[in-house]
Amino acid sequence: MSIKIIADRSVCVGSGNCAFTAPELFDQSEEDGTVLVIKDVPDPDQEEAAREAVAYCPSAALSLHE
């Protein structure tokens, strides 16, 4: 079963934890630093990194739909 990354940019504080933790899945907007999801359905070998990025998000802007 695959997971899907959900990002709520309205609550993102631009800490960059997600992009640092999983740069293959996340980036930051050049305009305001908020999260950009590069790949919303990670490959199976990227799911652990996606879960870590969600856990490290200080504003709870990220979630996973399973």
Is this model's pTM higher than 0.85 or not?
A: yes
CB proximity list for 41: less than 8 A, separation 6 or greater: 2, 3, 4, 5
Sorting pLDDT into bands at 50, 70 and 90, what band is 1? confident
What are the boundaries of each domain within the chain? 4-65
Predicted pLDDT at 35: 98
pLDDT digits over 11-38, tens only? 999 999 999 999 999 999 999 999 999 9
What CATH number has the domain spanning 4-65?
Answer: 3.30.70.20
The secondary structure of residue 57, as a DSSP letter, is -
